[in-house]
């Protein structure tokens, strides 16, 4: 029986038949690896995800963590699952061997981690946060900081968080007011309130290492005055509680198993990461990784929703197809109804397209070059926002395909839908991603990022069958022309940024489908037929959506600027 | 302070400035009424909704009804609210005075009831179900049945349900297997299992009157063999329990305050409504009303979500507008950010457009004519499905505008989003509505329904400013041409029925916006500016979406028919 968590067959296709991931072992960094070791980690990921993560996904939702004023209590399965995860070595999957890491390619780590995100997004988040925290310190911390903080994280003894937002500063980090005062011994005392801190408190690990954005006394206003501090929950030497208090838990619609906290820092002892004033720059290291992680999580939740819907549609008997002549013929499985097929095929195109994008982006990290870095920069807002919208729609379709059953808590799809709703919000809302894409990424280096992206898409489209390649080439030309037009009038270019993100996102996913189509070539079998089918669906049913978006952008419409909010009601 | 439940100003505009509802008092049926009595019922509806319904909306969600194997327990506020509602007389709002009804126009009743759906969709559902049940019996029951069952419903002593679905027959009613056996005394004994029965059991009323679709022994298979039975929970004479047992409650993602039940009928005593074999035809009386009620509920939930988001966006300070020059300027209310305005304006266009449609449809019932009946027939699937999708998107936007706060259960918008998800499922899924529209409503009477609809839209567009009228006229021509093309090949016409419903829906809402634009004329003030703004938004930002849908339909694409489900994964 096929897994309803994720598709190993699809991962194998994407990793080995498309991305040629085994060729990465020709690079020195991955020389100790082979297809066999990659497969072993994929195997163990599926095994642990299905055995230790999936079974408590609903229980996590029904019994969310509670705080009695003293300790955070949660179901014991979370701690067990994370212990097994740590023992697998995957916490240090991509890290250097010298730090106890596995030196796996990012693309393989990403594929492995998708199993956990699909099986139990809430429990897996603790591992994701710890990984992101450790990566930041590996890049910007001192040797000693790495030894004291990162090594225990890789071992699973410490967990990590990222403390950026405050009650008055969510999307707008320039308004962060938490302050840090330098002490004679070189440490800092950190004071302020942080909001929306995932994993901000729990008893899962011996310690929790907070990375905190704060403003040193006398630092300039705005983002340039922000520095980054390591603030452990407990003093590493004495085990005494540091000045970090859990002020409360936030109670969410979904994603309930991940504690989300309000933290009060009161004269908490912290140490600086890197240099003062460069905090946000360092934090972006973690944020970019987190954004790909969020996109990946959205794909994972959409993918598992799709697999559940597909299995249900094959099993559930109801009605006759619209083309049936005999109204008294026996009922058919609902997968035979065109509208159910529409939702399934759309969902397949979203989740497999999103998965391809997430893996493609991860592989760019494995072949570092200025070009790949530029491409990843321009893709990151799309990797983050597109799956958050469209793979969520796969979960929405999954409910619809289940009918009334899908709306009940007796079936898992309603939880996927609720869990996935967060992904358009955290780590920068969809609107923030749109501004990042149009306002920063496509303009940087004189537009080199977008030019590079379009070159890659065009090269793929030129190799694809004309029927599907030509519309994608045309869309590239249109996006390029629209972009040039927008930047001819920078004062209003950003007003319809979301339409731009939506259009660029659909074009990128069309590209991912042509890539898969080319990789499938004329290979026979249901799997490859499915790839060809979904590619055709995406290019013919989905890509045309971008026409009206680009028309709007071309029109230079400024309705959203001109309106007076008193008119809204 | 403005209500966050619904906008009385908007209702007044739609009822009096646009639909000229006061002119209905010129009809004999409404001669006892006046603008003053209409206003009095609107006032009292707002008052009761805000005082007795809204305050327990969250509590309903947190403490859903439970069943201990004997009784259904729920929070006492529901019973209180429904008692106050019954005392207002609104249960019999549109019914004849001779039955204790108020003889209000449907359009006024609809406007009144929207307050309750917006304030507390779950509690109001009991009243909606009872009303639908009573209307069916008024139309098809005997005088005696009306006296025994309907009069106590109008008084609030009995509640009503509609028992159609079975575990194996949801969308496909021809597969209903519940059977009825005629007794010597003319009554029937009803046996079978019913699923998804809202309000199927509770202690809110002295009795519950089930309307049950069942098959009399020897009746033909399919829908023509279905008859309709009145099956009370308790025998009216003795108060003894009839053979109807609550087999269990369904636990939903939202809409939790409305019990949703599995009912077991075991030799339950029932009496026939009308004639044998006409059950589904009678039931459609209730279903059509319920479909408008569902669309109305979707509008109400979207509307209240929009009002909450608007209030929040005006109050919440964060960041600077994208056009700001100074990154250190003080934060602005988020309503100043173009992307927040986009979501607000889109939501306004959805909820006010949806509200207009719901009231327009209701008014057709107040001016009965073959033409109005035909128009209502063709509009019903759109009234049901369009708000279920787009006013739900307003709730989605409301979460997004609230940012992280919107995702928490501390704010009401996440509940609106969950509650509203049901509306695309119950009373015929969106897919069923699409088949009803394209397969039945636009073809009946040789296409007269669609022709009439397009005539009405064209008349409105011709009176609107050309800038917005011309695109709507063009869309009418396109929809007409596409429809003709589709029916030239009936064997595949229905394959892309959903794209047809979506396109027709957006055109109908564009029409509703031109109607409002014409009604606003050049009147001054923020309110009218808002109407003009939203009309412009809908026609320029939303209506173009239908281009790719009609292109798809025109292409005769049969991807969804041709695929082999083995290719899906």
Spatial contact of A96 and A103, defined as CB atoms under 8 Å apart: yes
> CA-to-CA distance for B242 and B90, rounded, in angstroms?
29
**Residues of B with CB below 8 A from A306's CB?**
569
Cβ within 8 Å, pair B323-A426: no
CA dihedral B152, B158, B160, B163 (to 10 degrees): -120
Suggest the residue from B11, B347, B352, B407 to mutate for an interface test with chain A (most A CBs closer than 10 A): B407
Give the model's confidence band at B321: pLDDT under 50 very low, under 70 low, under 90 confident, else very high.
Answer: confident
Residue A345 lies in a domain: no
In a domain, A14, yes or no: yes
Looking at the structure, tell me whether residues B562 and B470 fall in a common domain: yes
Are residues B208 and B236 part of one domain?
yes
The pLDDT of residue A324: 75
Q: Quote the CA–CA distance of A384 and A392 in Å, as a whole number.
A: 12
CA distances A102 to A105, A129, A130, A253, Å, are 9, 18, 16, 36
Residue B28 structure tokens: 């004999």
Nearest CA in chain B to A256: B408
Residues from chain A that touch B431, judged by Cβ atoms under 8 A, are 337, 339-340, 400
Distances in whole angstroms, Cα of residue B503 to Cα of each of A542, B295, B479, B546: 15, 17, 8, 5
Say if the Cβ atoms of B498 and A339 lie within 8 Å: yes
Decide if A533 and B165 are in contact by the 8 Å CB cutoff.
no
Residue among A345, A498, A552 whose CB faces B339 most closely = A498
**Inter-chain residue contact B339 with A409, CB threshold 8 Å:** no
Tokens of B212: 């049950």
Residues of B whose CB is below 8 A from A223? 327
Q: Which residue has the higher pLDDT, B67 or A2?
A: B67
* Beta-sheet pairing, A72-73 with A66-67: antiparallel
What pLDDT is attached to residue B171? 83
Q: Backbone dihedral region of B425: left (phi > 0), alpha (psi from -120 to 50 degrees) or beta?
A: alpha
CB-CB neighbours of B372 under 10 Å: 16
Out of B77, B166, B276, B427, which one is annotated catalytic?
A: B427
Choose from B198, B415, B563 for mutation: most chain A CBs within 10 A: B563
A529 min Cα distance to partner chain B (Å) = 6
The reported pLDDT for the residue numbered B86 is 97
- Candidates A174, A250, A564; nearest CB to B408: A250
Residue where the block lists tokens 């302070």: B1
**A498 contacts in B (CB within 8 Å)?**
339, 342
The span from the CA of B424 to the CA of A404, in Å, is 10
CB A127 within 8 A of CB A176: no
Position of tokens 């009218």? B528
Q: Which residues of A touch B404 (CB under 8 A)?
A: 165, 170, 195-196, 250, 425-426
The alpha-carbon gap from B95 to the nearest alpha carbon of chain A, in Å, equals 32
Domains identified in chain A, total number? 3
pLDDT in tens, chain A (569 residues): 689 999 999 999 999 999 999 999 999 999 999 999 999 999 999 999 999 999 999 999 999 999 999 999 999 999 999 999 999 999 999 999 999 999 999 999 999 999 999 999 999 999 999 999 999 999 999 999 999 999 999 999 999 999 999 998 888 888 999 999 999 999 999 999 999 999 999 999 999 999 999 999 999 999 999 999 999 999 999 999 999 999 999 999 999 999 999 999 999 999 999 999 999 999 988 889 999 999 999 999 999 999 999 999 999 999 887 777 787 888 999 999 999 999 999 999 999 999 999 999 999 999 999 999 999 999 999 999 999 999 999 999 999 999 999 999 999 999 999 999 999 999 999 999 999 999 999 998 999 999 999 999 999 999 999 999 999 999 999 999 999 999 998 888 999 999 999 999 999 999 999 999 999 999 999 999 999 999 999 999 999 999 999 999 999 999 998 899 999 99
Instruction: Verify whether residue B427 is a known catalytic residue.
Output: yes
Contacts of A336 in chain B (CB under 8 A): 565
Interchain CB distance below 8 Å, B319 and A569: no
Q: Which of B244, B276, B308 is at the close of a domain?
A: B276
**H or E segment at B162?**
strand B158-163
How far is it, in rounded angstroms, from Cα A277 to Cα A471? 47
Number of other residues whose CB lies within 10 A of the CB of residue A497: 24
For B206, other C-beta atoms within 10 Å of its C-beta total 15
User: Which residues of B fall within a CB distance of 8 Å from A339?
Assistant: 431, 434-435, 497-498, 560
**Tokens found for residue B478:** 């396109």
If phi > 0 it is left, if psi is from -120 to 50 it is alpha, else beta; for residue B255 that is: left
Q: What are the chain B neighbours of A527 within 8 Å (beta carbons)?
A: 567, 569
Chain A interface mutation, best of B14, B167, B439, B565, highest count of A Cβ atoms under 10 Å = B565
For the ranges B16-30, B169-183, B512-526, which has the lowest average pLDDT?
A: B169-183
What local confidence, expressed as pLDDT, does residue B205 receive?
A: 98
Rounded Cα gap, residues B217 and B215, in angstroms: 6
- Do A486 and A471 lie in one domain? The reply is yes
Tell if the CB–CB gap between A310 and B564 is shorter than 8 Å.
no
Say yes or no: B171 and B219 in one domain.
yes
Give the model confidence (pLDDT) of B359-403 as tens digits. 999 999 999 999 999 999 999 999 999 999 999 999 999 999 999
What is the length of chain B?
569
DSSP-assigned letters across all residues of B496-556: THHHHHHHHHHHHHHHHHHHHHHHHTT--SHHHHHHHHHHHHIIIIIGGGHHHHHHHHHHT
Which of A280, A339, A409 best probes binding to B when mutated, by most B CB atoms within 10 angstroms?
A339
Q: What is the DSSP string of B197-219?
A: EET-S-SSSSEEEEEEEEEETTP
Strand partners, A197: A261
The mean per-residue pLDDT over the stretch B224-248 comes to 97
- Domain C-terminal end among A276, A296, A328: A276
Are the beta carbons of B540 and A560 separated by less than 8 Å?
Answer: no
Q: Is the pLDDT of residue B561 over 80?
A: yes
The pLDDT score that the predictor gives to residue A54 is 98
Same domain, A106 and A243: no
DSSP result, A410-441: TSTHHHHHHHHHGGGTTTS-HHHHHHHIIIII
ipTM of the complex, rounded to two decimals: 0.98
Looking at the DSSP assignment, which residues form a beta bridge with residue A231?
A210
User: From CA B156, how far away is CA A308, in angstroms rounded?
Assistant: 43
Pair of tokens at residue B482: 């596409």
Structure confidence at residue B508 (pLDDT) = 98
Supply the CATH number for residue B99's domain: 1.10.540.10
pLDDT at B285: 81
Domain presence at residue A285: no
User: B408 to chain A: nearest residue by CA?
Assistant: A252
Predicted pLDDT of residue B286: 83
Question: What's the CA gap between A197 and A248, in Å, rounded?
Answer: 11
**Do residues B18 and B70 both lie within one domain?**
yes
H/E run at residue B248: strand B244-249
Nearest by CB to A252, from B403, B407, B417: name it. B407
Contact A359, A107 (CB under 8 A): yes
* Structure tokens belonging to residue A475: 């869309």
Alpha carbon distance A507, A474 (integer Å):
10
To 5 degrees, how large is the angle CA B444–CA B447–CA B449? 80
Name the band, by pLDDT with cuts 50, 70 and 90, for residue B218.
very high
In a domain, A328, yes or no: no
Q: How much is the pTM?
A: 0.98
Contact A331 B252 (CB under 8 A): no
Nearest chain B residue (CA) to A565: B335
pLDDT at A1: 62
Side-chain-side CA neighbours of B88 within 13 Å: the count stands at: 27
How far, in Å, CA of A440 to CA of A430, rounded?
15
Q: Which DSSP letter does residue B125 get?
A: H
With beta carbons under 8 A apart, name residues in chain B contacting A310: 568-569
Q: What angle do CA B510, B513, B519 make, to 5 degrees?
A: 145
Are A174 and B328 in contact (CB < 8 Å)?
Answer: yes
B300, part of any domain: no
Considering only the beta carbons, identify the residue of B7, B174, B569 that sits closest to A327: B174
Same domain, A170 and A240: yes
Of B517, B515, B501, B506, nearest to B541 by C-alpha is B506
CA atoms of A80 and B151, how far apart (whole Å): 61
| Structural domain span for residue B218 | 159-276
Looking at the partner chain, which of B250, B536, B541 has a beta carbon nearest the beta carbon of A408? B250
B25: closest CA of chain A, how far (Å)? 30
The last residue of a domain, from among B256, B276, B296? B276
Q: Which residue of chain B has the CA closest to A527?
A: B567
Residues A99 and A145 both lie in one domain: yes
Look at residue A256 and give its three-state secondary structure. Answer: coil
Q: Which of A77, A271, A352, A427 is catalytic?
A: A427
Place of tokens 């020709």: A26
CB contact under 8 A, B544 and A533: no
Assigned domain for B244 exists: yes
Which residues in chain A are closer than 8 Å to B195, comparing Cβ atoms?
404
Q: Residue A192: inside a domain, yes or no?
A: yes
Strands (E), A466-536: none
CB–CB contact A318 B563 (8 Å): no
Contact at CB, B253 and A323, closer than 8 angstroms: no
- Rounded to 5 degrees, φ, ψ at A427 are 60, 35
How many CB atoms sit inside 10 A of residue A463's CB?
12
Same domain for A150 and A189, yes or no, is: no
pLDDT, position B323: 72
Contact between residue B388 and residue B299 where contact means Cβ atoms under 8 Å apart: no
Residue B403 counted as domain residue? no
Is the same domain home to A35 and A154? Answer: yes
pLDDT attached to residue A170:
83
Question: Can you give the CATH number for the domain in which B178 is found?
Answer: 2.40.110.20
d(CA B365, CA B253): 34
Cβ–Cβ of B548/A547 closer than 8 Å? yes
A491 and A520 share one domain: yes
Q: Do A434 and B339 touch (CB under 8 A)?
A: yes
Q: Are residues B214 and B140 in the same domain?
A: no
């Amino acid at each position: 029986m096929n897994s309803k968590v994720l598709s190993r067959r699809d991962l194998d296709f994407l990793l080995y038949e498309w991305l040629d991931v085994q060729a990465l072992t020709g690079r020195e960094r991955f020389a100790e690896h082979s297809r066999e070791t990659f497969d072993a980690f994929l195997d163990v990921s599926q095994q642990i995800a299905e055995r230790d993560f999936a079974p408590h996904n609903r229980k996590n939702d029904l019994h969310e963590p509670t705080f009695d004023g003293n300790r955070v209590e949660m179901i014991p399965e979370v701690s067990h699952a994370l212990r097994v995860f740590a023992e697998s070595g995957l916490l240090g999957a991509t890290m250097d061997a010298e730090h106890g890491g596995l030196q796996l390619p990012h693309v393989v780590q990403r594929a492995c981690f998708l199993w956990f995100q699909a099986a139990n997004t809430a429990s897996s988040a603790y591992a994701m946060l710890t990984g992101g925290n450790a990566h930041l310190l590996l890049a910007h911390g001192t040797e000693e900081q790495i030894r004291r903080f990162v090594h225990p994280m890789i071992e699973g003894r410490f967990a990590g968080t990222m403390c950026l937002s405050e009650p008055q500063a969510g999307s707008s980090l320039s308004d962060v007011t938490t302050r840090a005062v330098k002490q004679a011994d070189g440490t800092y005392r950190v004071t302020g309130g942080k909001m929306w801190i995932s994993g901000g408190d729990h008893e899962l690990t011996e310690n929790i290492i907070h990375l905190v954005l704060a403003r040193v006394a006398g630092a300039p206003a705005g983002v340039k005055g922000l520095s980054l501090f390591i603030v452990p929950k407990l003093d590493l030497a004495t085990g005494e509680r540091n000045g970090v208090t859990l002020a409360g838990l936030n109670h969410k619609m979904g994603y309930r198993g991940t504690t989300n906290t309000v933290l009060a820092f009161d004269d908490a002892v912290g140490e600086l990461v890197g240099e003062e004033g460069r905090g946000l720059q360092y934090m972006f290291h973690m944020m970019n990784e987190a954004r790909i992680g969020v996109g990946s999580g959205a794909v994972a939740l959409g993918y598992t929703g799709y697999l559940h819907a597909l299995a249900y549609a094959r099993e559930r008997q109801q009605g006759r197809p619209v083309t049936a002549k005999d109204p008294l013929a026996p009922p058919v499985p609902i997968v035979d109804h065109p509208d159910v097929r529409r939702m399934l095929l759309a969902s397949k195109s979203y989740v497999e397209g999103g998965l391809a994008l997430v893996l493609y982006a991860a592989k760019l990290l494995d072949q570092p070059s200025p070009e790949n870095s530029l491409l990843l920069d321009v893709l990151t807002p799309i990797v983050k926002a597109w799956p958050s919208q469209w793979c969520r729609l796969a979960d929405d379709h999954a409910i619809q395909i289940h009918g009334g059953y899908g709306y009940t808590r007796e079936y898992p799809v309603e939880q996927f839908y609720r869990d996935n709703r967060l992904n358009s919000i955290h780590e920068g809302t969809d609107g923030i991603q749109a501004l990042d894409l149009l306002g920063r990424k496509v303009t940087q280096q004189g537009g080199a990022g977008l030019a590079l992206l379009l070159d890659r898409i065009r090269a793929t489209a030129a190799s694809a069958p004309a029927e599907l390649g030509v519309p994608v080439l045309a869309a590239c030309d249109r996006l390029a022309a629209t972009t040039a037009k927008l930047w001819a009038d920078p004062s209003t270019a950003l007003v319809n940024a979301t339409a731009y993100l939506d259009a660029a996102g659909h074009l990128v996913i069309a590209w991912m489908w042509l890539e898969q189509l080319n990789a499938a070539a004329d290979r026979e079998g249901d799997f490859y037929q499915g790839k060809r089918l979904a590619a055709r669906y995406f290019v013919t049913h989905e890509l045309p959506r971008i026409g009206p978006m680009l028309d709007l952008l071309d029109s230079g419409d400024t309705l959203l600027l001109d309106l007076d909010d008193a008119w809204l009601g």
